[in-house]
Structure 1
Amino acid sequence: MAPAPPPAASFSPSEVQRRLAAGACWVRLGARLYDLSSFVRHHPGGEQLLRARAGQDISADLDGPPHRHSANARRWLEQYYVGELRGAPQGSMENEAVAFEETQKTDPAMEPRFKVVDSDKDLVDWQKPLLWQVGHLGEKYDEWVHQPVTRPIRLFQSDLIEGLSKTVWYSVPVIWMPLVLYLSWSYYRTFAQGNVRLFTSFTTEHAVAVPKSMFPGIFMLGIFLWSLMEYFIHRFLFHMKPPSDSYYLIMLHFVMHGQHHKAPFDGSRLVFPPVPASLAIGVFYVCLQLILPEAVGGTVFAGGLLGYVLYDMTHYYLHFGSPPKGSYLYNLKAHHVKHHFAHQMSGFGISTKLWDYCFHTLTPEKPHLKTQ
């Protein structure tokens, strides 16, 4: 017979007020208390929105307006549970459980993967590297990987390989922006010397000179093409559904993108590490050099590389930044958070929603839950 769980901590209203006065951000759902102090700067609606509700019952806020929070968001909240408020009306916990179930039933657009997961008693052992474990999850993997938790992930047993799989956000501009500047200047000089020819057939007899005035347009074309590639990679590669009977394809999906959906606020895994990024970037450079004249292909590559840097920086900011309400980045952050917590098979654009508009994959708007 399993031992009974320890009783929940109990806090008086005066104890809660003391913590609020010390700067903590505690909220409640009926009698249940949650310490959101470590989450406020990650909140999609901005830190001030949560700070303004410190000490309050947020039951109505979860149901909207401005929007109804997904079941994944409600599950995410449970990771910050600290105890019960003494003197709160009885039955509050039961009412919240009913509301949680109703949220799942009344939103047909939401994906059906909402069983409550205790991250300390999960399908995997969090004290060991996860990569070699996820392949055994089989048909349970897709549900498990889309139930986010707030904890870091370790993929590999080897400290060296594990270190190469992680990086700080500023490594991306530090490593790649000098290359963008060098290639841009180098290829611009080639254009300025009038040595760039674009062949109009498979022979060298028919070629037209490309003036240096074309350089900015070709560079911008690289940025534009990157945004399209970003969308297709995210939609068709990162969000492929691996066969439940394929141990290695599940592992591949997890190492490419699944680990990010499982732990979306693991700051060491929000941008591409330099070593694997170098391999992919090298392949793209070689391909462009094979199909285009050197200077043209190099300029497209330089623009695309800048697009990649902007993409990774935008992605990091959408997770950890607090953009002003109503701004472009605020709307982009809301778009991306819905992709993580409610609609994983839509909202694939990171740096722009352009391609989601074009290919009809915008995250659907959810109706508010009307309370009686």
Structure 2
Amino acid sequence: MAPAPPPAASFSPAEVQRRLAAGACWVRRGARLYDLSGFVQHHPGGEQLLRARAGQDIGADLDGPPHRHSANARRWLEQYYVGELRADLQGSIENGSVPSAETQTTDPAIEPRFKVVDWDKDLVDWKKPLLWQVGHLGEKYDEWVHQPVSRPIRLFHSDLVESLSKTVWYSVPIIWLPLMLYLSWSYYQTLAQGDVRLFTTFTTEYSVAVPESVFPVLFVLGILLWSLIEYLIHRFLFHMKPPSDSYYLIILHFVMHGQHHKAPFDGSRLVFPPVPASLVIAFFYVILRLALPEPVGGTVFAGGLLGYVLYDMTHYYLHFGSPHKGSYLYSMKAHHVKHHFSHQKSGFGISTKLWDYFFHTLIPEEAHLKTQ
């Protein structure tokens, strides 16, 4: 017979009040208390929105308006559960009133599927590297990988290989911006010489000279091209649904993108590590070199490389930044977090919604609001 779970910790309103006064962000749902201090920066509505609700019952906020929180969002909340609120005649959390009997009982609306993951009974062993385990999940993989958790992931047994699969965010601008600047200056100088022509496979009569004045056009075209590539890769490669009977395709999906959806706030896995990024960047460089004259393809590539850096920096900020309400990044953060928690089959743009508009893959709520 399995041992009974340990009783939940209990806190008086005065004890919770002391934590709030010290800067913690505790909220409650019924009598259940949650410490969101470590989550406030990640919240798509902004840090201030959560801090304004510190000490309050957030049950109504979960049900909306402005929107009803998803099952994943409610499950995510349970990871921050710290205990139960008990009666205390010496004070209360809200407006000095004593919590009623109703608020002291555990909220019956919290269904079992919203409870925090039992790490000892999960489908995988979190004490071991996950990569070689997920392939055995089969038909359970798709549901499991789209139920996010707040903890880091280890993929490989080898410490060396594991280190190559992770990186800090600032490695991206440090490595790629100098290369982008070098290529931009080099190809601008080549274009300035005035001897670059398109369509040289035809006679000289039909070739087209490429003046240096088109450099900014080609560069911006590269940025735009990257935004399209970003969208297509995210939609059709990262969000492919691997066959449930394919062990290796499940592993491939997990290492490419599934691990990010499983642990969306693992800061070491939010930007592409330099080694795999180098292979992808080299591939696109070769394609452009083969398709266009070197200065033309190189300029487009340099613009695309800047687009990639902006994409990775934007992606990191959307997870860890706190943009001002009403700003572009605030809108993109809400857009991206909804993609993670409730709309995995839409909202594929990271740095822009342009291609979501164009290909009609806006998150349904946003598409509805747009038509109002």
Q: Work out whether residues 40 and 50 of structure 1, in 8 Å CA contact, stay in contact via their aligned partners in 2.
A: yes
Alignment correspondent of 2:145: 145
Flag the 1:115–1:93 CA change in 2: closer, same or farther, 3 A.
closer
CA deviations over 1:274-310 (Å, ceiling 9, x no partner): 0000001001101110111010000010000000000
Write the distance in 2 (CA, Å) between the matches of 1:287 and 1:355: 22
Alignment correspondent of 1:10: 10
> How far 1:96 sits from its partner (Å)?
2.5
Alignment correspondent of 1:337: 337
Q: Work out whether residues 78 and 116 of structure 2, in 8 Å CA contact, stay in contact via their aligned partners in 1.
A: no
Alignment correspondent of 1:74: 74
Alignment correspondent of 2:65: 65
Alignment correspondent of 2:28: 28
Which residue identity does 1:231 align to in structure 2?
Y
User: 2:312 aligned with 1:312, yes or no?
Assistant: yes
> How far 1:363 sits from its partner (Å)?
0.7
Q: Work out whether residues 33 and 84 of structure 2, in 8 Å CA contact, stay in contact via their aligned partners in 1.
A: yes
Q: Work out whether residues 199 and 208 of structure 1, in 8 Å CA contact, stay in contact via their aligned partners in 2.
A: yes
TM-score w.r.t. length of structure 1:
0.92
> How far 1:65 sits from its partner (Å)?
2.1
> How far 1:119 sits from its partner (Å)?
4.7
Relative contact order: is structure 1 or structure 2 higher (C-alpha 8 Å, sep ≥ 6)?
1
Alignment correspondent of 1:209: 209
Q: Work out whether residues 41 and 322 of structure 2, in 8 Å CA contact, stay in contact via their aligned partners in 1.
A: yes
Helix, strand or coil at the partner of 2:233:
helix
Alignment correspondent of 2:117: 118
Q: Work out whether residues 117 and 147 of structure 1, in 8 Å CA contact, stay in contact via their aligned partners in 2.
A: no
> How far 1:206 sits from its partner (Å)?
3.2
Helix, strand or coil at the partner of 1:27:
strand
Flag the 1:94–1:24 CA change in 2: closer, same or farther, 3 A.
closer
Aligned 1:49-198 pairs, distance under 5 A: 49-87=49-87, 89-90=101-102, 92-97=105-110, 116=115, 118-120=117-119, 121-198=121-198
> How far 1:93 sits from its partner (Å)?
2.5
Alignment correspondent of 2:355: 355
Flag the 1:204–1:141 CA change in 2: closer, same or farther, 3 A.
farther
Helix, strand or coil at the partner of 2:54:
coil
Write the distance in 2 (CA, Å) between the matches of 1:68 and 1:204: 64
Which residue identity does 2:336 align to in structure 1?
H
Overall identity of the aligned pairs, in % = 82
Which residue identity does 2:109 align to in structure 1?
E
Write the distance in 1 (CA, Å) between the matches of 2:40 and 2:202: 59
Write the distance in 1 (CA, Å) between the matches of 2:75 and 2:126: 18
Write the distance in 2 (CA, Å) between the matches of 1:40 and 1:115: 20
Write the distance in 1 (CA, Å) between the matches of 2:360 and 2:236: 15
Structure 2 gaps, min length 5: 88-98, 367-372
Coordinate RMSD, CA, aligned = 1.7
Q: How many residue pairs end up in the alignment?
A: 353
Q: Work out whether residues 11 and 86 of structure 1, in 8 Å CA contact, stay in contact via their aligned partners in 2.
A: yes
